[in-house]
Structure 1
Amino acid sequence: MILWRALVCTVAVVASLLSSPHLTQASPRYCPRLDAELAWHGANQARLQEFLCSQRPGQRGIAVFDWDNTIIRNDIGDATLFWALRNEKILQPPGRDWRVTSRWLTADAAAALRLACDGAWPGRPLRTAGRDTRCADEIRSVYADQKTTTGRAAFAGWDHRRVEPSYAWAAQLLAGHTRADIRRFAAAARREALRAPVGATQTVGSGNVNAWVRYYPQQRDLIRALRKAGFDIWIVSASPQPVVRVWALGAGVPPSRVIGVRSVYRSGRQTYRLQGCGGERAGVITYVDGKRCWINQVVYGQRGPAAWDQQPAARRPSFAAGDSTTDVTFLRDATELRLVINRNKQELMCHAYDDVDGRWLINPMFIQPLPQRGSPYPCSSTAFVDSNGDSGPVRRWDGTIIPDQPDTIFGPEER
């Protein structure tokens, strides 16, 4: 009897030790530590550390990150397109008909591009470097401003919850090249952007544009810790798929875990067509509701129209991170924690500041954070944009309207 009681006692002690939160926190496999030397806003690092330590052994959650301005500062779609323009890698469309490059391109934009970029045969590189800047200026204006150089609207007729036509166009302009070609372009642009000093600009056509990109050390560290905690890390980005794959390796994310703007290839070369999602053959990219569709389709294998719907909790990411209204739908889908990098994007910040379920974390940008927004976010009136581009109030899941939110978490945060 004495031996039996001793055995029971020993088992109880071992069980108590195994269930101890201190032991769990000490476990490098299930509770990796974030780098305490990296600065986060307020209690964000502590909240993230608590989340990492809450994962049970054997639990394998999904963590999804946006890329541009979430894991890095600045935009790799911009960097690659600007590099392609400076190095004359964009090819003349068939028949010099720019309407084939995008289903949303207006007749005004197509005419302006044909006039400015008439100096190359179809399929040959456009003259976008050198003294004659007309072609580079027109493409840059259509892409960056969504207007021609004369101020005419460049795109029309798109679903504002499923696509951003200029983001799609950045991918479509690489048509005619192989995946290997595009990876080389992205790698070259990456080298230049990482070497350029913070704040540097470059000349594209006759205008100056941003020239630098930096990885956020805090996000690299968070990805490392999440992976050690057993998470499957995914990137979902509105930059071109081959481009994001090149950059993702620098954050420790393999190419197989990247969802970018996906193009259709024919005979090994990219076409102007975009892959579809959720039962739609074209016209859907990784943008707002489109990000949910692509996550559901690629990560969880949900096909057909159901990919547009919010899935049961077990088939949704437990952690998500983003910086823009582009990310609002998949961030809201995350079941446990949502990290927002504050870039003053209205609809997203309305949800993040409202924090109706206590699962939102807000952090200023880690490099060159924005100052405080001068007025509250107009959540109750115009911060939401519907599929037609019309504005309205931002609503919670239960349909109630979020009141206007002041901007209270902002820079500077660097040290």
Structure 2
Amino acid sequence: MPHIARPLIGLAAAAVFASGLTACSAPSPSGEDEPAEATGCRTLDEQVEWPDEARTALDELLTSQGACAGDDAGNDAPVAIFDWDNTVVKNDIGYGTNYWMLNNDKILQPEGQDWGTTSRYLTPAAVTALGEACGTETPAGEPLPTSTDTACADEIVAVLDGETTGGEEAFDGYDARRINAAYAWSAALLAGYTPEEAQDLAAQAKEELLAADEGASWTVGTTEVDGYVHVYEQIDDLIGAMHENGIEPWIVSASSQPVVLAWSDEVGIDAEHSIGVRNLLDGEGRITAHLEGCGDIADGEDAVMTYIDGKRCWANQEIFGITGAAAFEQAPADVRQIFGAGDSDTDVTFMEDATELRLVINRNKTELMCRALDNEDGKWVVVPMFIDPKEPNEEGYACSTEGRIEPDGGTSPLKRADGSVVEDQSEAV
């Protein structure tokens, strides 16, 4: 997770569209050149800045789907799915909550004072490093003094980023297309609280993160991390337009469920349309480190969360009612979302499932950008981050050799549906 952002560049100048598209050739979801006109249908706010090509494609979506296409609202309303972190907002609400908890002594000493109980995927090196840094003076279930114990705070921040402070791997042994062990551990740091208590902690963190200036940082232990989270006004406006036009927006996020619930109303999405990492509760109703199952994965196996193929599973299961092993497979087009928005490889599978349009917030993530720039079906649109965008990736993307994340965490050539290999891609506008 990045801590320090890069210099601001102009939205229009940084807009990147899928390969072969120019400023006058961006396709609409229906294949037409201009948005359809529909009486009474809302389009994007003209006062909110978008690259022109993205505005054209999104306005066409808004005026050709949902109520604007004569579809009734309710169960038959077309679905749009948004990732949350760095898609709806700048920065990460899950990690932002963790950082706030560390600075306010809200992380609880694990059961048995054993960090191995917090994730089955923590390596022995990570368990040892956390145990040595955080000690055993604090009883199990009591708050660790991480606001003053910089060694403990630094070790937790390091493990959240995937390595110990000594540079050793913090997690292993998981299916990297179904779960990100560090993200799951971020959710597990809420263990010991009820969901309501965890949501309240996240709300307190939210208040400070929203109020902070753009570019603000926090010092956690001795580590400097992002200290602000701001809602993208472009995505807020897009979600509002979808609501008004009878398109049903959902959030599917790799942050913890209580954290997502503390934030989703910032863009008018309610709890029933918010899906995050879902942890099991113990007999007293308190969060544990174990995960709810999805598809044919049972509760407590800790083998799937809202991550890459796991995001598809959770979307299929919770939104479309597809259960069992089929939840991991691409559903028929008439029961899939019409739109997907994301920023990372975390989002690539559910975005591929979108039938009309796919909006990529460019963070230079290889598998997602390979799909978007290849633009096999002409339905991908790429825009820069709306706050503090990254510089274009001048080296391009090695799609033909390292484009796909494999379950073991390695990479392989990225292939299209017909089995052909996606060529290496460039962000040249």
Match of 1:25 in 2: 37
* 1:113 counterpart = 2:130: yes
Distance between the aligned counterparts of 1:165 and 1:157, measured in 2? 9
1:171 Cα deviation after fit: 0.4
Distance 1:88 1:375 in 2: 43
Residues in 2 aligned to 1:339 and 1:202: alpha-carbon distance in whole angstroms: 31
Q: Pick one of 355, 359, 380 that aligns with 2:375.
A: 355
Q: Does 1:213 align with 2:229?
A: yes
- Structure 1 ranges of 4+ moved more than 6 A: none
- Mapped to 1, the partners of 2:266 and 2:167 lie a distance apart of 39
The answer to whether 1:330 aligns with 2:334 is no
Residue 88 of structure 1 is aligned with which of 62, 83, 105?
105
Q: Residue in 1 aligned with 2:24?
A: none
What is the CA distance between 1:26 and its match in structure 2?
4.8
Deviation at 1:176, TM superposition (A): 0.4
- 2:304 corresponding residue in structure 1: 284
CA drift of 1:188 comes to: 0.9
Of 142, 146, 152, the match for 1:124: 142
Equivalent residue number for residue 320 of structure 1: 340
Partners in 2 of 1:315 and 1:33 — Cα distance? 25
Contact 2:38 2:63 in 1 (8 A): no
Distance across 2 between alignment mates of 1:379 and 1:197: 37
Q: Distance in 2 between matches of 1:50 and 1:82?
A: 40
Partners of 2:361 and 2:408 lie apart in 1 by 27
* In 2: Cα distance, 1:408 partner to 1:54 partner: 30
1:58 aligns with 2:68: no
Q: Secondary structure at the match of 1:310?
A: coil
Deviations for 1:136-171, whole angstroms, at most 9, x for unmatched residues?
111111112x11111111101111100111100010
| CA–CA distance in structure 2, aligned partners of residues 287 and 215 of structure 1 | 22
**C-alpha separation in 2, matches of 1:407 and 1:245:** 35
Q: Give 2:416's aligned residue.
A: 396
Match of 1:202 in 2: 218
Q: Map 1:11-410 to 2 at 5 A.
A: 25-28=37-40, 31-55=41-65, 56-59=69-72, 60-118=77-135, 119-130=137-148, 132-144=149-161, 146-266=162-282, 267-281=284-298, 282=301, 283-408=303-428
Matched residues in 1 for 2:343 and 2:268: separation? Answer: 20
Contact in 2 for aligned 1:66/1:237 (Cα 8 Å): yes
Q: Tell me the TM-score normalised to structure 1 length.
A: 0.90
Structure 1: gaps of 5 or more residues: 1-21, 410-415
Structure-2 change in CA distance of 1:314 and 1:107 (3 Å): same
Work out the number of aligned pairs and report it.
384
Gaps of 5+ in 2: 1-33
Deviation at 1:78, TM superposition (A): 1.2
Q: CA deviation at 1:237?
A: 0.4
CA shift, 1:25, in A, is 3.1
The answer as to whether partners of 1:246 and 1:255 remain within 8 angstroms in 2 is: no
Deviations 1:20-74 (A, max 9, x none): xx9x83532xx21210111112311011111111121125200000000001111
Quick one: which amino acid aligns to residue 93 of structure 2? I
C-alpha separation in 2, matches of 1:320 and 1:233: 10
CA distance in 2, matches of 1:259, 1:333: 17
Distance 1:375 1:162 in 2: 28
Helix, strand or coil for the counterpart of 2:253? strand
CA deviation map 1:123-147 (0-9, x unaligned): 11112012x3111111111112x11
Query: Residue 11 of structure 1 aligns with which residue?
Result: none
Larger RCO (CA within 8 A; separation ≥ 6) = 2
Identity, in percent, stands at 48
Separation (CA, whole Å) in 1 of partners of 2:375 and 2:218: 40
CA distance in structure 1 between the aligned counterparts of 2:60 and 2:335, rounded to whole angstroms: 23
Alpha-carbon distance in 2 for matches of 1:367, 1:408: 21
**Separation of aligned partners in 1, 2:309 and 2:54:** 27
CA distance in 1, matches of 2:313, 2:87: 20
Instruction: Output the aligned Cα RMSD.
Output: 1.4
Q: TM-score, normalized by length of structure 2?
A: 0.87
Whole-angstrom distance in 2 between the partners of 1:349 and 1:328: 9
Cα distance in structure 2, aligned partners of 1:392 and 1:26: 45
Deviation at 1:99, TM superposition (A): 0.8
Whole-Å separation in 2 of the counterparts to 1:26 and 1:147: 53
What is the letter of the counterpart of residue 32 of structure 1?
R
